[in-house]
Amino acid sequence: MASTETPAPEPEKVAEAPPPKVEKVAEVPPPEVKTQGGAPPSDYFALGEVVLRFLLFAAALVAVVVMVTSKQTEKRPIPFPPFQTNYVTVKFNHSPAFIYFVAALSVAGLYGIITTLLSFYAILKPGCCPKLLSHFVIFDVILLGIVAAATAAAGAVAYIGLKGNKHLGWGKVCDVYDDFCGHLAASFAVSLFASIVLVFLVLLSIYSLSKKIPK
């Protein structure tokens, strides 16, 4: 008796779902910074610092030159026998306060030209020496104290020469050495301007450092 085998039913094919379509998101280009003439935006604070440091150098140089050239010779009577007149010359190096003034302003001028070059180099190559630039505020404060002290000391001596002191018997000399005292006054005025420039440099350096502090 022949056996008949029924064929096994074939498995039904499951229709594969089409892969989901991925929509492409258009890339948004970053916003462009509009600059005049195609030049990159400049750091106005850094540029202002360069200008202030150059003004410090120029003011210190002028103050030193005017003080060093303060020299005048006049006839002065001798207040004891034989009561003759003699030529007396006054210079800046006759007073220790004026010598200190010249030394302090010379240091300020040297510091001003060095820091001007470094600040200008930092604008050309940003991030070249951040540690050194961050220490400028310390040197600015120290130099401000030196210049202010030198101006005050020399100004006190010059004031005695202008007004005198009757209680101590110190007579005024600016009525005789008017040219010499005029040089002193001009030098002190420029030195005060240098002190104001240093104040602005300290404030600018503090503001620049505060911007770098993470909030």
Of 204, 188, 193, give the one whose Cα is nearest residue 150.
188
Give the domain extent around 195: 42-210
Domain assignment present for residue 146? The answer is: yes
Tens-digit pLDDT profile for residues 57-81:
999 999 999 999 988 777 666 665 6
Cα separation, 42 vs 45, whole angstroms = 9
Whole-model pTM over 0.75: no
Tens-digit pLDDT profile for residues 132-153:
666 788 889 999 999 999 999 9
Residues in a beta bridge with 89: 73
Higher-scoring residue by pLDDT: 104, 206: 104
pLDDT at 183: 87
Domain count of the fold of the chain: 1
Distances (CA, A) of 186 to 72, 146, 205, 211: 15, 19, 29, 38
pLDDT at 130: 62
pLDDT at 40: 42
Tens-digit pLDDT profile for residues 27-57:
555 554 444 444 444 467 778 888 999 999 9
Domain assignment present for residue 8? The answer is: no
Higher-scoring residue by pLDDT: 187, 32: 187
- Please, are residues 137 and 209 in contact by the beta-carbon 8 Å criterion? yes
Instruction: List all residues 6 or more positions away from 126 whose beta carbon is below 8 Å from its beta carbon.
Output: none
Domain assignment present for residue 17? The answer is: no
pLDDT at 35: 45
Q: Which two tokens stand for residue 172?
A: 């005024």
Residue 131 above 60 pLDDT?
yes
Tens-digit pLDDT profile for residues 190-213:
999 999 999 999 988 887 777 766
Provide mean pLDDT across the span 97-110: 94
Tally of CB atoms within 10 A around 65? 16
Higher-scoring residue by pLDDT: 16, 110: 110
Domain assignment present for residue 16? The answer is: no
Cα separation, 140 vs 45, whole angstroms = 16
Domain assignment present for residue 165? The answer is: yes
- As a whole number, the mean pLDDT across the chain is 77
pLDDT at 13: 53
Domain assignment present for residue 36? The answer is: no
Of 192, 191, 204, give the one whose Cα is nearest residue 51.
204
Domain assignment present for residue 183? The answer is: yes
pLDDT at 82: 61
Domain assignment present for residue 20? The answer is: no
Instruction: List all residues 6 or more positions away from 85 whose beta carbon is below 8 Å from its beta carbon.
Output: 75, 76, 77, 78
Of 205, 209, 193, give the one whose Cα is nearest residue 56.
193
pLDDT at 33: 47
Higher-scoring residue by pLDDT: 119, 8: 119
DSSP conformation class of 87? E
Residue 157 above 60 pLDDT?
yes
Residue 128 above 80 pLDDT?
no
- Please, are residues 90 and 180 in contact by the beta-carbon 8 Å criterion? yes
Q: Which two tokens stand for residue 96?
A: 């220790």
